[in-house]
Amino acid sequence: MPGKVTVLGSGSWGLALSNLLVTDPSSVSIWPPTSEEKRLLTTSRENPAALPGVRLASDVAICDDLTVRGAPLHVILAVPSHAVRAVASRVSLPPEPPSDSTIICAAKGIETDTLKRMSEVLKDVLPAAWSSRIVILSGPSHAEEVARGIPTAIVVASSNVEAAKAAQALLAHERFRVYVSDDVVGVELGGALKNIIAIAAGITDGLGYGDNTKGALLTRGMVEIARLGVAMGARERTFAGLTGIGDLITTCISRHSRNRYVGQELGKGRTLESILGGMTMVAEGVRTTRAARALAEKYQVSMPITVQVNKILFEGQPPEQAMLELMLRDPKTEDGIPLSHLKEPKSP
Amino acid sequence: MPGKVTVLGSGSWGLALSNLLVTDPSSVSIWPPTSEEKRLLTTSRENPAALPGVRLASDVAICDDLTVRGAPLHVILAVPSHAVRAVASRVSLPPEPPSDSTIICAAKGIETDTLKRMSEVLKDVLPAAWSSRIVILSGPSHAEEVARGIPTAIVVASSNVEAAKAAQALLAHERFRVYVSDDVVGVELGGALKNIIAIAAGITDGLGYGDNTKGALLTRGMVEIARLGVAMGARERTFAGLTGIGDLITTCISRHSRNRYVGQELGKGRTLESILGGMTMVAEGVRTTRAARALAEKYQVSMPITVQVNKILFEGQPPEQAMLELMLRDPKTEDGIPLSHLKEPKSP
């Protein structure tokens, strides 16, 4: 793959993707957002708080210049979602994208103030000609496992299928399988909103509930995410795929998930403040819950799990009471619960 | 709930359901299929190989008479699927079912010789008037957790919605939530075929793969199950519900699942013969894989995971090669993989 890749962000995903993509000394640069991370990577080639035991490949260049050039030119955003606007604003791109260039966003979240998805945030701040090069990267893919070569399958989504295919050609590796989608809204919402259900799953862990509870919770969680997604223009079936239920499963069973961890500690009775105070990395789901709560209201969609997680996080609702309320609502036919209130999927 | 419940089978499900349902000394009887289990239950009220540490409630009667009477009358089949025909044949029912009576089948499997689902097997052997009383019980519900009062949500399905509602009224308890469905084919196939994917998930565990692999495998596994199900007349959406993806998740993450265990040991390199030789309980998925392989052929449906698990179980295919073959097929759009080849759901 000729051309040049710049990875913005040196957390776990930034490091894993840099190592995955590097082929020779000029192919991949990584941009650490803080001087501390830059110092760590320069001296030790590691960011032990983010990805312990993994060294940045020696051919990856460490840069602090955000003027990016190359043909094709690929920029990968691997910073927390709340930093995407600020970081993308600082990148200096050529006004016209060289052919096969892409802006790949690996951040999963909703901007809290604007309720915008990441692709919408990028459109706000990038040169207009780059809008059709925006690609969303999502799917069940803990960075820790990608870095260890664990077989992984993910999705690249773009409204411009040519850009998605360019990202697929860039990213596909033997144990890193890449599918293409044109359902940007569905792929973005699945990736962002699953973190809410991961917090809920963690809460059931903290309360000492079991696998039965988790199976039911994940099933109903994906249903309410799909319900919002369809109201926002996504295709229902996207939520039955890798970026929907697939990512939700991986996140909820993983010891790597910071969102599941936050929920687990809440379930044990700790306060949100004390949990977040002890964490060095970002749990996206906390912010996302607030945003999803607002979106559910805006689109008039029922999201009972999101409502309860929001109450637990921000309104002091005791976790056990909230979880039992979810379990013990009036019995209905199951058709009334999962996907039947949704419209039929739109044609691609 | 007046009437009488007879639970056929004294394995983990039989014991858990008996304890859940018993209200007074005349309400629930349990029928142990072997004289050894009868002896154990009579002397110690326990079946430690099946459900260690759980005592049968003192009000549950132990019976050896299969002439069942009561109004309403409920018979619960909690034996392995390959034993359902033989056990149901021995039950003596009144020729006309008293109103609100049910035959509830908790076994999950496909009859290997006939490729029949459990409801079809029961229709073969029960008095004709009882056909409309057959109810399938399925969903994410490890008996070990139900016995401990872990919050659980399950589904009762019948072509006769009145029978399903009678079963719902019988089974619903505070931490045991029961939904009604009329998609018998979908509910039966989800419950039976998920055991194949559980074996595959266990294989990835045994090979040392991670949560990324499992998220992708479960997603694609449910897609191929749904594909067969729709070809056999099920509704696609049932597979997105508790008895589909919900049960699959619970089974694949559980240390209780015998099917996942079989896969895990295969992944570590043991032979099927040695694994099964060391187990006291039945791993339904081994038989079900063979049956599903035959159904895929009969209905001309692509089931790549089932095909590979069948090869590993019965044709000596090395597990790692099979799993990588699944991961490394030609990249396509994800729409080509999950649900898009399916017909639209039928109306209820």
In A, minimum Cα distance to B348 occurs at A335
Contact residues on chain B for A216, CB-CB shorter than 8 A: 139-140, 151-153, 177, 242, 246
With an 8 Å Cβ cutoff, is A327 touching chain B? yes
Give the nearest partner residue to A219 out of B148, B245, B344, using CB atoms.
Answer: B245
Give the nearest partner residue to B241 out of A179, A247, A338, using CB atoms.
Answer: A338
- Find residues 230-289 of chain B whose CB sits inside 8 Å of chain A: 237, 240-243, 245-251, 253-254, 256
User: Chain centroid to CA A156: how far?
Assistant: 12
At residue B7's C-alpha, the angle toward residues B1 and B13, to 5°, is 105
Mark the ranges of chain B whose per-residue pLDDT is less than 70. 1-2, 328-348
Predicted complex ipTM: 0.91
User: Over the stretch B200-251, which tens digit does the pLDDT of each residue have?
Assistant: 999 999 999 999 999 999 999 999 999 999 999 999 999 999 999 999 999 9
Tokens found for residue B11: 């394995």
- A89: Cβ contacts below 8 Å, ≥ 6 apart: A125
CB contact under 8 Å between B339 and A211, yes or no, is no
Contact residues on chain B for A178, CB-CB shorter than 8 A: 331
Give the nearest partner residue to A153 out of B140, B210, B216, using CB atoms.
Answer: B216
pLDDT averaged per 10 residues, chain A (length 348): 87 96 91 96 95 95 92 96 96 95 97 96 97 98 94 96 96 91 97 96 95 95 95 95 96 88 96 88 87 97 95 94 77 44 32
Catalytic (active site) residue B194? yes
Which one of the listed residues A4, A194, A214, A311 is annotated catalytic? A194
CA atoms within 13 A on the CB side of A37: 23
Tokens found for residue B205: 């565990």
Contact residues on chain A for B305, CB-CB shorter than 8 A: none
Query: What's residue B334's pLDDT?
Result: 57
Query: What's residue B278's pLDDT?
Result: 83
With an 8 Å Cβ cutoff, is A179 touching chain B? yes
Residue B248's H or E segment, with its range, is helix B247-253
CA distances from B79 to A255, B40, B94 (A): 35, 17, 22
Which one of the listed residues B4, B116, B165, B194 is annotated catalytic? B194
End-to-end CA distance of chain A: 30
CB contact under 8 Å between A179 and B331, yes or no, is yes
Query: What's residue A334's pLDDT?
Result: 57
3-state secondary structure of A340: coil
> In this structure, are strands A73-77 and B152-157 parallel, antiparallel, or unpaired?
unpaired
Query: What's residue B330's pLDDT?
Result: 56
User: For the range A87-95, what are the long-range contacts, defined as Cβ-Cβ under 8 Å and sequence gap of 24 or more?
Assistant: A87/A8, A87/A9, A87/A33, A88/A8, A88/A121, A88/A122, A88/A125, A88/A126, A89/A125, A90/A66, A91/A8, A91/A66, A91/A126, A92/A66, A92/A67, A92/A68, A93/A68, A93/A126, A93/A127, A93/A130, A94/A69, A95/A127, A95/A129
Q: pTM of the predicted model, to two decimals?
A: 0.91
Query: What's residue A256's pLDDT?
Result: 77
Tokens found for residue B41: 């239950």
Alpha helices, H only, A241-318: 247-253, 258-267, 272-277, 284-298, 304-314
In A, minimum Cα distance to B153 occurs at A216
In A, minimum Cα distance to B335 occurs at A181
